[in-house]
A and B are shown apart, each in its own frame.
Chain A
Amino acid sequence: MKLFAKAIVLLLFSLATAESNDRSGIVVVMSANSGIEALTREQVINIFFGRFRKLPNGETAVPVDQPAGAPLKSAFYRQLVNKDLAEIRAYWARLVFSGRTAPPEQTKTEQEALQLLLEQPGAVGYLWEGSLPPRLRVVFDL
C-alpha cells in the first residue's frame, strides 16, 4: 500500500512537471482602441471555438491564430482548454465540413498576426506574457 501511495505521488509529481513546460504565461490581447477592457475565459473560448463571436460591445469578434507551427499556438490551446492541436483540427473538421462557422484567421507569421490585431476591428489574439507591443491591450490573462 505504501508503495502504491508512493507511486501515486510520483505520478502526480511527473504530471505536474510535465505540465509546467507549458506554463509560460499567455495573454489574450486586443487593440487598445477596441473599447474592450476585459474578456472572461468563457468568452475567449466562445470566440476561438466559433460558438458565439460577439464582443461585449456588440461588435463581431475576429479570432486570430498564431502561425501553425509556433509553440505559442499549441501552448495557447493547451492552457485554454487542455487540447492539443490534433484535437483542435478534429473539432474544426466537424464544423467546417458541416458548413458552419469558420475557424480563426490562420496567420503565417507573428508579424501578420500583429498587423491583423492592430488593424482588423474586433480582432482577438494571444501573445506570450511580457511581450506586449504598444497599442495592444491585455483583455484576459490565461
Chain B
Amino acid sequence: MLGAWLALTLGTPFLAFCEPAPFALSGFGTLAIARSTDGSAQFVRNLSQPEGLGTSWRFENDSSLGIQANIGVREDLEAVAQVVTHYRYDGRATPDLTWGFLRYDPSPTWTLRAGRLGTEFYLLADSRMVGYSYVTVRPPVDFYGTLPFNYMNGADLAVTSLLPSGGLVTGKLYGGVSRERAPLGKDPDFDMSGSVLAGAYLDVHKGPWQVRLSHTRMRFKNDLPLDYLYDALPEATADALRVAGEWTHFTSLGMSYDASPFQAQLMVSKTGNTHAAFQDTWAGYLVLSYRVGELTPFVGLSAAKSSPKRLSHPLPPYTDLYLQDFHSDQRSLFFGARWDFMKNTCLKAQVDVIRGQADSEFLYVWETSEWDGSMAVLSLSLDFVF
C-alpha cells in the first residue's frame, strides 16, 4: 500500500482530474495506525467494523484506498463509479462498489442522480472515507459511529436557487434500498439489504455560513439475527424488540462557519425508532480548527446519549441486558493537528479522551465486565489524493 501511495501521489496529480477529458481516473487513500489505552472494550470507527482498537497499534480500522472513474457521456450527463477497499463487516478488505451512478445536470439549478449513491444522512456522511477532505483523523465517532451505511441503490434530486437576500438554498430528496451488512459480535451479521431509505435536506449557504437541516427514514427489511433470543422471550416482549418492518429516523442540524484560517463545524442529531431494539439517541459534536501555514491544529468535543424505550412487557434481567448493548452515554474531547507537508498528502495526529458511563456499550465491540466507559485513543494517519 505504501508503494501504491508513492507511485500514485508522485505520479499523476489529483487535479489531472479537471482535464476536460471525457474519462478521468482519480483516487484517495488513508494509511493509519491507532490504539487505545484500554483493553476492556474495542473502539471502532463505526458499527460496520467487527473488531476494534485495543492496547496494541492497529492498521485496519482507519486505512482505506478508493479509486473513482468519471466518464463524461454528454455535456450534461456523467457516469461515476467508485470502488473502495476498507475494513469491512466481515473483517476482509474486499473492494466495495460504493458509488455507481449516472448524473444528469440539465441546468445549473437541477441535478438528478440514479444508481448506487452515497448516503447523505449528515453533512459529511457521504465523504467519511475521504480522510484528505477533513482535518480530523476520522469523523467524530460519537456522532458518525452509529451509521454502518455507506451507500444505497436509488436516486436523488437536488435543486439550487439564489436567495433574494444573497446566499444559496439547496433542497434535496433521496431514496433507495440498502445493500449492506453490519456485524453483531459473535452473532451472525445483521443483513440490512432490502431496507428502504428515504429522506430530504435543506441547505442554506450564506457568506461563511452553511446550515443544513436533514431528515432520513429507514425501514428495516430483516430482523436482527437473534432468533434464540426472540424464541426464548414471551411473544409480546420479543415483538417489541423486532425491527423488521419498523422505522428508524435520523434528524440532524449541521452548521459550519468557514472564515479561513478559522473553521468551525457544529452538528446535532436525534435518532428515533418505532421499535425498542435500538435506543433513541441524541448526539452532537463541535470541531474548531485554525490553519497556521502548513499546520492546522484542531480541537473538538462530541457526545452521545441514548435512552431505552420502556417495554410494555419487560422480562428482567434478560431484556435489560439486551437493551444495555445498545446504550450510549459518553462524551469525548479530541485534539490534534493536520500537516499539509506536501502536495496532495497530509499527516494527522489525534488524541481522543473518552469519558462515559460503564453501561455505554453501543459504540464499542467486545466489551468485557471490566469496561468502565472511559478510554483514550491515539491515532496517526497519512491521507492522500491522486
Whether B99 is near chain A, meaning CB under 8 Å from some CB there, is: yes
- Chain B residues with CB under 8 Å of A93's CB are 14, 28, 127, 130, 132-133, 385
Q: Tell me which of B13, B160, B166, B346 contacts A86 (CB under 8 A).
A: B346
Q: Is the CB of A96 within 8 A of B68?
A: yes
Taking A99-B118, A106-B18 as contacts, is the C-beta distance between A82 and B340 under 8 angstroms?
no
B interface, by DSSP: helix, strand, loop or mixed?
Answer: mixed
- Considering the chains assembled together, what is the distance between the CA atoms of A93 and B386 in angstroms? 10
- Considering the chains assembled together, what is the distance between the CA atoms of A96 and B19 in angstroms? 13
- Considering the chains assembled together, what is the distance between the CA atoms of A84 and B292 in angstroms? 10
Q: Which of A65, A87, A89, A102 has most B Cβ within 10 Å?
A: A89
B110-124: which have CB < 8 Å to A? 113, 117-118, 124
- Chain B residues with CB under 8 Å of A82's CB are 259-261
Whether B134 is near chain A, meaning CB under 8 Å from some CB there, is: yes
Q: Distance (Å) between the CB of A103 and the closest chain B CB?
A: 5
- Considering the chains assembled together, what is the distance between the CA atoms of A91 and B16 in angstroms? 16
Whether A90 is near chain B, meaning CB under 8 Å from some CB there, is: yes
Q: Is the CB of A90 within 8 A of B118?
A: no
Whether A68 is near chain B, meaning CB under 8 Å from some CB there, is: yes
Q: Tell me which of B99, B162, B340, B385 contacts A99 (CB under 8 A).
A: B99
A36-92: which have CB < 8 Å to B? 42, 46, 51-54, 60-61, 65, 68, 81-84, 86-87, 89-92
- Chain A residues with CB under 8 Å of B294's CB are 86
Q: Is the CB of A106 within 8 A of B19?
A: yes
Q: Which of B14, B99, B133, B168 has most A Cβ within 10 Å?
A: B133
Q: Distance (Å) between the CB of B297 and the closest chain A CB?
A: 14
Q: Tell me which of B99, B108, B167, B260 contacts A83 (CB under 8 A).
A: B260
- Chain A residues with CB under 8 Å of B108's CB are 52-54, 60-61
Q: Distance (Å) between the CB of A116 and the closest chain B CB?
A: 9
- Considering the chains assembled together, what is the distance between the CA atoms of A90 and B245 in angstroms? 40
- Chain B residues with CB under 8 Å of A103's CB are 15, 17-18
- Chain A residues with CB under 8 Å of B82's CB are 97, 99
Whether A105 is near chain B, meaning CB under 8 Å from some CB there, is: yes
Taking A54-B108, A61-B108, A93-B14 as contacts, is the C-beta distance between A99 and B80 under 8 angstroms?
yes
Q: Is the CB of A89 within 8 A of B26?
A: no
- Considering the chains assembled together, what is the distance between the CA atoms of A96 and B20 in angstroms? 15
Q: Tell me which of B19, B68, B117, B344 contacts A97 (CB under 8 A).
A: B68
- Chain A residues with CB under 8 Å of B132's CB are 89-90, 93
Q: Which of A53, A54, A61, A98 has most B Cβ within 10 Å?
A: A98
Q: Which 3 residue pairs across A and B have the least CB separation, nearest first? A: A94-B133, A106-B18, A86-B340
Can you list 7 A-B pairs with a CB-CB distance of less than 8 A? A46-B168, A54-B107, A89-B343, A94-B134, A99-B117, A103-B17, A106-B17
